[in-house]
Amino acid sequence: MMTLLVVASPCALVLSIPSAILVAIAAGARNGILFRGGVAVETLAGVNHFAFDKTGTLTTGELEVSRIETAGLTTADEALAAAAAVAQDSTHPLSRAVVAEAQRRALPPVETRDVVNIPGFGMEARSDAGVLAIGSRRLMEQRGFAVAGYSSSGAEAEVWVARDALLGVIYLRDRLRPATPAVIAALRRAGSSVALVSGDRAAAAERVARASGIEEVHADLTPNEKLEWIQRWRREGKTVAMVGDGINDAPSLTAADVSLGRGARGSDAALAQADVILMHDRIENVPTALRRSRRARRIIRQNLFISLGTVAVLVGCALAQKIKLSLGVVGHEGSTVVVVLNGLRLLRIRPDRNT
């Protein structure tokens, strides 16, 4: 009876899952991948569809002003200074680029107050000269400004500027991350489909998608429209991971089965919703995180097989009185050690050199 009680104790079974999960989390942290708990590891392992934001995720996010087209009511510098005044405290890549260009030109600051973010559209603030608004073409159309006649050819993004009337458009260009095509290819090899969901213009989004190797593109999206796409994919039975870093991505990050945000430059809202945080601004960590989670899942299954198989064999031997207590203890404790050592194999995974 004592032998049966010893060998039937499920110590190895109890350690099968948490040992692998804890090692996976620790191993990820060593390479700049922060999993927020075991659920994130387990869910990411089952992902078969990735949705990527564009600006700052697939691209470098280091936008630069290429040209400024005014409406004739002000100079290019004045339009830029007005936009920078509204954008100065924003973490959005477009805002950072506008502010950086204003600083490079040493433009005098414009005093603003009551800054309000309009998710998916832009921002506005009050100044002594009136209400300043910056953002998308759609925002200007909502405000009743005439937006026809402006050419955005060759620009990745645009920031429209208005103050009681349209002041002009700031055109910006961005660069694709060198590792992006390899990352997308790695995800495809892993059996996952990939889509691009962006609030930017269709031409810019499609250009980045072609260079990245992404076939499914959805552009000119508001945050709610991004959210609707995530929900649609989930209704179709897909397990969806959303990768983004901006405040406009927060709703879709929340709706996805698992979300990945960038810790280096991501907005507070995006990071608050992310289940996995990618440090060091490395998009290469996306397929690495997927590999780690799937390896953890395989090891968990191995551990369950080892622990349950060992218990079944030892209990059978104990019931048949074919095993002594000393051997039962060795078998029981040995299976526990094997399970823990098997989990430690996760520490041996290195980032994928192909990405």
Distance CA 94, CA 256 (A): 25
Number of neighbouring beta carbons within 10 Å of residue 174: 24
Alpha helix segments (H runs only) across the chain: 2-8, 11-30, 38-45, 76-87, 93-104, 137-142, 180-189, 202-212, 223-235, 250-255, 268-273, 285-319, 325-344
- Structure tokens of 15? 């350690």
Cβ neighbours of residue 143 closer than 8 Å, sequence gap 6 or more: 133, 162
Q: Catalytic: 164?
A: no
SS3 state of residue 36: coil
Pairing mode, strands 49-52 and 193-197: parallel
Closest CA to 292 of 330, 343, 338, 234: 343
The rounded Cα 343 to chain-centroid distance in angstroms is 27
Q: What are phi and psi of 188, to 5 degrees?
A: -65, -40
SS3 state of residue 265: coil
Burial of 240 (C-beta count, 10 Å sphere; 0-12/13-18/19+):
buried
Options 53, 200, 245, 275, the catalytic residue: 53
Q: Answer whether 83's CB lies under 8 Å from 170's CB.
A: yes
Q: Answer whether 196's CB lies under 8 Å from 299's CB.
A: no
Burial of 152 (C-beta count, 10 Å sphere; 0-12/13-18/19+):
middle
Distance CA 334, CA 313 (A): 13
Pairing mode, strands 113-118 and 122-127: antiparallel
Closest CA to 42 of 20, 59, 65, 13: 20
Q: Which residues are catalytic?
A: 53
